[in-house]
Structure 1
């Protein structure tokens, strides 16, 4: 491990606007299509969308339909380029610190999560995320909430990739009892946790309410490990966040997380506890 960020974040791109790059790459891929130059109408037909959508995307106007980047990558055989640019464009709607955290998250080979209040964003259902975002900003419009939910769920694409990170999550038991929205919302979220636990690269454990006090009792934290095995810690609080890189502080936090893992219930008992809470919501 090291406390330098050079291995995480390379030099700045020549064009740091991913939305603009998306537009340029789409036009270029269309015009340089191997068999023949495609028109916007041709591209729309292949992508099962409208010509006006392709035209709008190439002019850099409006949002990118979330289902379209993967389709474009398949059509043009661009090895995830459009999907990556889409994710970067979505991330731009977040504050600078959150954008940096999401960039690190996309490169991580391992992600550890400690959460004492809510299910971490990487594991949230759309309804659960919506309930959190509505509570967090009650004045937000429906369109703003929908956009925020979509952006949050986009982060979860890393779990479905060809080489997903190893994810280890410790949840405070209080997370299972804290209802957000209708009972069905919480039931759906608990069911999603059980589904995640079946995945070989995702481990979820529950820390009992009677566990002893610990170093991270006042905040939740995420540990992101790069391919170089360097780790940073992201700590979030009300309307603020911090990325800790100092080696000594990172190691202390890692030891605290390992202690939490030791205090948490084993995977099978954690699953039983989640299932029991689901049954109470029937």
Structure 2
């Protein structure tokens, strides 16, 4: 795990310095560069000073406009990692490499399934509150993770979601309706299975909290566990095997994918 965000902060500062050096060497003001990139002068200033994490589009345009020859574009992946909170960066990298992904959620809809409105509401209710800029960056990063659904070859993905999550109107009932519709949409993707754990189940193996299981293309089997912004990536076989067994039990206890689809449709009808 990354113990803190110092290395990522350093990447952002380094990127900003590179932009400033390239800009000044070409005799451009920040306002002039912003106009060429389609961004505001304030945005360019914030990027150069390491206060804002640039989006991939900004990086690509800056590389072209400043004729950097790939100097800026090559940093895109590392800059992108800094959009995630420090406790999640290692897991985000592993998730992007997954060939199989299994997620149990009993607090909120899994990030990979969240709509923009729901994600913004989730970050908005955190305490202490996040700065608006940080919320924007976290929402963008969360949505960017969903590119995994369109990756080729497609990873096998399974989600077991506690019913309480699907009934909790974070952001309001309209936001929840849009989120349930998104769950239905994703559940129809061929390589994705979504199961609901009903509240009336007398047995639930997931009471200890949410977790994610990941298998990468090089055969590594990894578990990610997060509680109160404290996370851990397990790679030792014993803890991973224990969570794999727990996930198998959860799938057996939950509704089948077909039953779950009907259940989410029923919940939608109740809103």
Q: TM-score range by the shorter chain?
A: 0.7 to 0.9
- Aligned partner of 1:86 among 66, 79, 84: 79
Aligned equivalents of 2:229, 2:203: Cα separation in 1: 25
> Do the aligned partners of residues 44 and 193 (structure 1) sit closer, same or farther apart at CA in structure 2, a change above 3 Å counting?
same
Aligned equivalents of 1:112, 1:29: Cα separation in 2: 44
| 2:193 matches 1:203 | yes
Partners of 2:56 and 2:76 within 8 A in 1: no
Deviations 1:236-264 (A, max 9, x none): 22342222222122112112211222232
Aligned equivalents of 1:183, 1:234: Cα separation in 2: 30
Deviations 1:73-95 (A, max 9, x none): 996996x845423322213xx23
Q: Where do 4+ consecutive residues of structure 1 move more than 6 Å?
A: 24-30, 38-46
Query: Partner residue of 1:33?
Result: none
Q: Summarize the alignment of residues 247-258 of structure 1 with structure 2, pairs less than 5 Å apart.
A: 247-258=237-248
Greater relative CO, 1 or 2 (CA 8 Å, sep 6+): 1
TM-score normalised by length of structure 2: 0.76
Q: Summarize the alignment of residues 137-216 of structure 1 with structure 2, pairs less than 5 Å apart.
A: 137=127, 139-216=129-206
Q: Summarize the alignment of residues 1-282 of structure 1 with structure 2, pairs less than 5 Å apart.
A: 17-20=10-13, 22-23=15-16, 48-49=38-39, 57=47, 59=48, 61-66=50-55, 68=57, 71-72=60-61, 81=74, 83-91=76-84, 94-95=85-86, 97-137=87-127, 139-281=129-271
Q: Secondary structure at the match of 1:136?
A: coil
Deviations 1:135-167 (A, max 9, x none): 222544434433333333333333344445322
> Do the aligned partners of residues 144 and 184 (structure 1) sit closer, same or farther apart at CA in structure 2, a change above 3 Å counting?
same
Q: CA deviation at 1:188?
A: 0.8
Q: CA deviation at 1:193?
A: 0.8
Q: CA deviation at 1:55?
A: 7.6
Aligned equivalents of 1:180, 1:108: Cα separation in 2: 29
Deviations 1:165-190 (A, max 9, x none): 32211111222112212100100111
Deviations 1:28-80 (A, max 9, x none): 999xxxxxxx98699877754468866865x45432443515854996996x8
> Do the aligned partners of residues 54 and 145 (structure 1) sit closer, same or farther apart at CA in structure 2, a change above 3 Å counting?
closer
Gaps of 5+ in 1: 31-37
Partners of 1:87 and 1:154 within 8 A in 2: no
Please, which moves more after superposition, 59-68 or 225-234?
59-68
Q: How many residues align?
A: 261
Partners of 1:244 and 1:250 within 8 A in 2: yes
Partners of 1:40 and 1:55 within 8 A in 2: no
The alignment yields a C-alpha RMSD, in angstroms, of 3.7
Q: Secondary structure at the match of 1:181?
A: coil
Aligned equivalents of 1:187, 1:137: Cα separation in 2: 25
TM-score normalised by length of structure 1: 0.74
Gaps of 5+ in 2: none
